[in-house]
């Protein structure tokens, strides 16, 4: 009997939804370390992923044909090996549009209204009205990596009265973006932004993309937000841009090294807002991933191409 192995906790109702679509598949659910040895290798479909399963999943006796990962990013997956074994790989792209957009604007509003300073002062019972209070209205948001998250971010930015500039590989227009550039025109786009928002995945092309030259291309007093991947940013170059005053501040959810070491200088910078890689977290996460998986599972059972989120191994996303 073919089987599906889920490496995340599922409710009884969620398990039943899977069984309703694939009644002839055995469903096994549990954390990887709690499953009997060899369970993943004997799966036809794996829902979820852990690096601990890599050796077993890639073994000669593995029969895995499809892996649905729980995240949007697949940069930590053994992509070359999975491609060689002709394993379909799908991600959770689309799950994050609402929470990450809201996190982005939490950063922007905290910065413009000095909420990050107010929170620090509150912890000291300190009444301090000093500081510069800015507005989003009339400012330009440059969104680098316009996919589902970027388009949603642009839509919300327009509601705040902002001008929106986008950057995407194809340069294809988006109804929520006033001006769209290609990646080759990145420096031109950066020069227009009061707020630079990075949502790019990590690939060979995006690693170290934001170096000293890129920060120099940004406006004086720009605010930089990174919701993509930490290694896309040269951290030392970012710190230098912040220290010099060229950048007014930064909102960071991802870092080159995670967890961010306690002695790291970013922690002590008043113009930096830090969250611990939680931008995509939401109480609705599992149900949204499952919606993607169930739609793909219907197609898979019927021998059709998977309609959602199939990873292009050549592009790595």
Enumerate the active-site residues.
Answer: 229, 258, 277
- Helices of type H across the chain: 12-21, 54-57, 79-84, 97-112, 115-122, 148-159, 186-190, 212-217, 235-244, 285-301
- Helices of type H across 205-266: 212-217, 235-244
Inter-axis angle of helices 285-301 and 12-21, nearest 10: 20
* Nearest to 163, CA basis, from 208, 193, 134, 188: 193
**Bridge partners, 293 (sequence order):** none
Number of H helices, E strands in the chain: 10, 12
Buried b (16+ CB within 10 A) or exposed e, 269-293: eebbbbeebebbebeebbebbbebb
Vertex 99: Cα angle to 268 and 88 (nearest 5):
110
């Amino acid at each position: 009997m073919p089987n599906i192995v889920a490496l995340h906790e599922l409710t009884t109702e969620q398990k039943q939804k899977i069984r309703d679509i694939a009644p002839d598949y055995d469903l096994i659910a549990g954390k990887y370390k709690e499953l009997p040895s060899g369970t993943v290798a004997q799966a036809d479909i794996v829902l979820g992923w852990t690096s601990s399963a890599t050796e077993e999943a890639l073994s000669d006796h593995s029969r895995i044909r499809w892996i649905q990962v729980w995240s949007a990013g697949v940069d930590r997956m053994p992509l070359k090996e999975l491609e060689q074994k002709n394993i379909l790989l799908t991600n959770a792209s689309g799950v994050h549009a609402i929470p990450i957009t809201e996190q982005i604007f939490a950063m922007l509003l905290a910065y413009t209204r000095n909420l990050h300073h107010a929170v620090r002062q509150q912890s000291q019972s300190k009444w301090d009205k000093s500081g510069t209070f800015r507005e989003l209205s009339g400012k330009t948001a440059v969104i680098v990596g316009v996919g589902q998250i970027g388009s949603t971010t642009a839509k919300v930015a327009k509601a705040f009265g902002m001008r929106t500039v986008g950057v995407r590989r194809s340069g294809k227009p988006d109804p929520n973006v006033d001006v769209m550039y290609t990646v080759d025109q990145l420096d031109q786009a950066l020069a227009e932004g009061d707020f630079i928002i990075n949502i790019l995945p990590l690939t060979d092309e995006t690693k170290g993309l934001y170096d000293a030259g890129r920060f120099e291309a940004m406006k004086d007093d720009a605010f930089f937000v990174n919701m993509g991947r930490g290694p896309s940013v040269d951290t030392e170059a970012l710190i230098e841009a912040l220290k010099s005053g060229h950048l007014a501040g930064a909102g960071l959810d991802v870092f080159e090294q995670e967890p961010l070491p306690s002695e790291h200088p970013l922690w002590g910078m008043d113009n930096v807002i830090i969250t611990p890689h939680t931008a995509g977290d939401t109480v609705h996460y599992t149900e949204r991933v499952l919606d993607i998986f169930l739609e793909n599972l219907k197609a898979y059972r019927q021998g059709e191409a998977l309609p959602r989120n199939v990873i292009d191994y050549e592009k790595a996303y």
